[in-house]
Amino acid sequence: MNTIVLLSIILFALMALIGKMKGVRSFLSLVLNFAIIFVAVIFMLDTATNPIYITIIACIIISAVNLFFINEVNKKTTTAFIATIITIAILFLFIFFITKQAMIQGFGEEEIDEIITVYSLHLGIDFVKVTVAMIVMSTVGAIIDVAISITSPMQEIANQQPTIKRKDLFLSGMTIGKDILGSNANTLFFAFIGGYMALLIWVKDLSYTFGDIINSKIFSAEIITIFCAGIGIALIIPIAAFINAFVLTYKSNDESE
Tens digit of each residue's pLDDT (9 = 90 or more) over 105-145? 555 555 555 544 444 455 556 677 777 788 888 888 888 98
Query: Which DSSP helix (H) or strand (E) runs through 47?
Result: none
b/e per residue 69-78 (b: at least 16 CB within 10 A): ebbeeeebbb
CA distance 17 to 35: 25
Question: What is the greatest pairwise CA distance in the chain?
Answer: 72
All residues at 6 or more sequence positions from 116 whose CB lies less than 8 Å from its CB, including other chains: none
Q: How many domains are contained in the chain?
A: 1
How far CA 3 is from CA of 7, 10, 33, in Å, comes to: 6, 11, 21
pLDDT of residue 240: 92
Q: How many CB atoms are located within 10 Å of the residue 125 CB?
A: 16
Residue 84 φ/ψ region, left for φ over 0, alpha for ψ in the -120 to 50 degree band, beta for the rest: alpha
- Amino acid in position 134: M
Regions of the chain short of the pLDDT cut 70:
1, 47, 102-126, 193, 195-196, 198-199, 202-206, 208, 210-216, 251-257
Query: Which DSSP helix (H) or strand (E) runs through 50?
Result: none
The parent domain of residue 112 ranges over 2-256
CA distance 97 to 249: 37
CA 234 to chain centre: 12
- Alpha-carbon radius of gyration of the chain: 21
pLDDT of residue 257: 40
* Whether 147 contacts 241, CB under 8 Å: no
All residues at 6 or more sequence positions from 173 whose CB lies less than 8 Å from its CB, including other chains: 150, 151, 154, 237, 240, 241, 242, 244, 245
As a whole-number percent, the residues of the chain with pLDDT over 70 amount to 76
All residues at 6 or more sequence positions from 45 whose CB lies less than 8 Å from its CB, including other chains: 123, 125
pLDDT of residue 206: 67
**Residue 47: φ, ψ to 5°:** -65, -15
Q: How many CB atoms are located within 10 Å of the residue 67 CB?
A: 24
